[in-house]
Amino acid sequence: MSQWITIIGGAHSGKTKFAHEVCASLEDVVWWGTASELPQDADWQQHLESLRSSRKSSWLTLEGPWSWPPSQGESLQDSQILKAKVFVLDSLNLWLAAQINRCTSLYSLSQMKVHLELEFERLLENLRALSCPVLLVSAEAGSGVVPAGEAGRLFRDLLGQWNCAVVKESHHGISMQAGRALFWPGGLTELPPEGVPVRCVDARLIQRVLCQV
C-alpha cells in the first residue's frame, strides 16, 4: 500500500493550505475538492473560488462531492489518476455533509446511517485501490459540542468515527493547530515501546515522506 497521510484540524486551521504546500512542486496531482456549490451563499462561493485558484493548472481537479469515487462497476477513471503522484481528498467532512444533505429527504435517520456507512466503506475501498499516495484532509468533530438537531449529531458522530477509521488506514497523521503542522504516527506505523514524539514539520518534509523521495 502506498503512503497515506491524514491531515486533521479545526476550522481555518490551515489544513487545505498545508495540503497545497505539500503538493506545490508536483505536476501529476489529482485533487478531489468535495465542497458543494452554494450559489445562494456569496461568501461560500468566494471561498470556493479562492481554493480553486490556488490549484495548479497541470493538476486533474475533480469538483464536487459526486465527482468521485466511480460508480460500482466503473474503472477508477482516466489514466491521469492511474499515473498520479498524489491523490488528495479535500475534505472528508464536506463530503459527509453533502451526503447527509442529499439523504435527509430520502431516508429515516436509521436508514441514513446505514446508507452513509455503506458509502464510506465504498470510498475506502476505492482509496485503497489507488496505486499512488493519498493525502486526506478532514475536520475535527465537535470537540465536545453537542449539536441540537438529529442530523447534526449524526454528522458529529460519524465524522468522529470516520476520522478514527482513516487514521487507522494511514501511515502518518498531521494535526493542524493555528497554521502549524504537528506530525505523528498513524495506524499503519508501529510504535516502539517508548512511543514516538509529536513534532512540528514543514510541507517539504511531508512531500518527501508521502512520495518516499
105 vs 112: which has the higher pLDDT:
112
Closest CA to 32 of 119, 125, 122, 94: 94
Q: Which pTM was predicted? A: 0.92
Domains parsed from the chain with CATH numbers:
4-211 (3.40.50.300)
pLDDT tens for residues 148-179? 788 889 999 999 999 999 999 999 999 999 99
pLDDT of 98 reads: 95
* Element housing 18 (H / E): helix 15-23
pLDDT tens for residues 14-46? 999 999 999 999 999 999 999 988 888 888 888
In this model, does residue 53 exceed pLDDT 90? no
**What is the Cα–Cα distance from 100 to 133, expressed in whole angstroms?**
28
Cell numbers given for 176: 493542524
Residues 46-84 as b/e (b if ≥16 CB within 10 A, e otherwise) read eebeebeeebeeebbebbebeebbeeeeeeebeeebeeb
